[in-house]
Structure 1
Amino acid sequence: MSAMICLLSGFVGMSVITDAYRIEQKALHENPFYGVASKHYAPLVSEIIKKLGISSLTDYGAGKKRLFQSLVDIGIDLKEYNPYDPAFPEYGKPMPAQLVCCIDVLEHVELDCLDDVLSEIHANMQNYCFLTVHTGPAMKHLSDGRNAHITQAPSSWWLKKLTDYFEVLQLQTTTKFGKGFWIIGSKKNGALKVNSHEKFNAPAATK
């Protein structure tokens, strides 16, 4: 771990963000155009919810809760929607749910905190997760000049990291917002409850 002290999250001993970086993220969220990716993934999340019979969802790194509003606009009525974002402490700690979505978040996580973030997602997913990763640079920058995607790595590196925690049920590359990919996963130690032939349609790439 780095010399910076990470903030504890919902589970004892887990550190998911440093205090200084939390302040950076809070400032970035003042930009109305920061954190819009979840709106574009909402149709795909809606399809996952319907096909897997999801009634509870934790939005890990929820930002301004745009995923929730987009799902409502589509007509999705969840019994439980649990937002979590360390930049928004008023949301509280992450809560267990059948599906944990983590959209346009992981590439923003500090490398020293990444394993704790993935462990926390794993601990809170009762059945499935939907994770997206952008593998290149962002258009936005931090106050110190670093790119907003502070953890940039090729898909091979990310997949090795993700498969330490999750069974990958589906993988799809994407060019939305640049090069990247998304996965639907289940718990590494759990039985798969999805038809292995079931596939979900990727949202169309924006031009």
Structure 2
Amino acid sequence: MTFKLSSLFGSSKEALPAAGGNYSRDTPSPRYLELSKVYATMHDEGRPDVDHSAGETFDGRSLEPHIDVIAKLLKSSGSTSVLDYGSGKGKLYQPRPDSSEERCKRLPAWEGAEITCYDPGYDPFSELPDAKFDAVISTDVVEHIPELDIPWILDEIFGRAEKQIYVVAACYPAKKILPDGSNAHCTVKQPAWWIEQMEGAAKRRGQVAWTLCTQSKSFFSFEHRSSLRKPGTKTLYFTG
């Protein structure tokens, strides 16, 4: 497998991906089950302790910085159906006029693509569609998944895509602390590790074109050239 890199990442190396044991959707890790309950409660009740309403909690607005990039990928691959895997409440989307299902959405920037929302913590979108889609996108998701569950989660993403996959991985701890005191980003890895994960899923589930967007905190980033002392986010893209 070869990769096109938008720029070079650091030379530090990490171990190959965890095998994941026998974990799967039917038998996820104990920590995955714990976090599922935490996220479902936060979807329903919000975070009163930090003054966040249920409607503001995991509302899906983290998709916004990726809309234009995804639009280009959809157009170049001829994708007209999209699964948003881990969509949150999908607040950036509009209802699809040809469907009465709440999970069926549209987004003008994606030129008529039919979008289906899936999020296990949000009851209206909690059922994973047993279908194939031209494209599967997943933003603000994988870093929230326990490390041992990453392989089967990516297998689900790859197994539902016909043409294109877009995954975003944050490579830094979150500001958000969960009610149980843990950091919301429970799997924090370097870009090289996430590339290995994507490559492994592609080998197991089929050679679908994929794009991995990694975001790292750095004291230098192109977004913060004028204030080098201010930590910023460095975004890298990898394709396979």
| Match in the other structure for 1:109 | 145
Letter in 2 for 1:24: V
Matches within 5 A, 1:25-174: 25-29=39-43, 30=46, 31=52, 32=56, 34=58, 35-66=60-91, 68-69=93-94, 72-74=107-109, 76-78=111-113, 80-91=114-125, 92-94=127-129, 95-166=131-202, 174=215
Other structure's SS at 1:57 match = strand
Letter in 1 for 2:194: W
Using a 3 Å threshold, how does the CA distance of structure 1 residues 39 and 113 change in structure 2: closer, same or farther?
Answer: same
Count of matched residue pairs? 176
CA RMSD across the alignment: 3.0
Q: Distance in 2 between matches of 1:15 and 1:171?
A: 24
For residues 46-74 of structure 1, the C-alpha deviation after alignment (integer angstroms, 9 at most, x for no partner) is 12122221100000001011453496243
Letter in 1 for 2:109: I
Q: Distance in 2 between matches of 1:178 and 1:61?
A: 22
Q: Distance in 2 between matches of 1:143 and 1:134?
A: 20
Other structure's SS at 1:41 match = helix
Q: Distance in 1 between matches of 2:128 and 2:213?
A: 30
Shift of 1:156: 1.3
Identity percentage of aligned residues: 23
Q: Distance in 1 between matches of 2:197 and 2:235?
A: 15
- Structure 1, unaligned stretches of length 5 or more? 186-207
Tell me if the contact between 1:172 and 1:183 (Cα under 8 Å) persists in the aligned partners.
Answer: yes
Q: TM-score, normalised by structure 2?
A: 0.62
Letter in 1 for 2:82: L
Using a 3 Å threshold, how does the CA distance of structure 1 residues 76 and 18 change in structure 2: closer, same or farther?
Answer: same
Q: Distance in 2 between matches of 1:57 and 1:67?
A: 15
Shift of 1:20: 2.2
Tell me if the contact between 2:134 and 2:161 (Cα under 8 Å) persists in the aligned partners.
Answer: yes
- Structure 2, unaligned stretches of length 5 or more? 1-17, 47-51, 95-104, 217-222, 224-231
Matches within 5 A, 1:175-194: 178-179=233-234, 181-185=236-240
| Match in the other structure for 1:18 | 32
Letter in 1 for 2:124: E
Q: Distance in 1 between matches of 2:111 and 2:27?
A: 32
Letter in 1 for 2:158: H
Q: Distance in 1 between matches of 2:195 and 2:133?
A: 23
Q: TM-score, normalised by structure 1?
A: 0.71
Other structure's SS at 1:98 match = strand
